[in-house]
Amino acid sequence: MAKTASKNAKVKDLKASAEAKNWTKVIRAVRSPKTGAYTFKEAIVHKDKVKDYLGQ
């Protein structure tokens, strides 16, 4: 017989997934001063701070 997830585990997973939706992956192109080639910097940023991160 298969085991079922407890109600507490389901509630915990719902809270974690709701909190995870507040974060976003930002990919930024950065130009190298030496060669002029672009490199990409990736970061996980809270959705409220995306503009601040891109403005740097």
Q: Mind listing the pLDDT tens digit of every residue in the chain (56 residues)?
A: 566 666 666 666 777 777 888 999 999 999 999 999 999 999 999 999 999 998 87
Distance CA 29, CA 2 (A): 48
How far are the Cα atoms of 23, 46, 54 from residue 15, in angstroms, in the given order?
Answer: 14, 16, 28
Each domain of the chain, given as residue ranges in start order, spans: 8-54
Tell me the β-bridge partners of 24. Answer: 45
55 and 35 Cβ atoms separated by less than 8 Å: no
Q: What is the pTM of this model?
A: 0.59
Q: Which amino acid makes up residue 39?
A: T
18 and 11 Cβ atoms separated by less than 8 Å: no
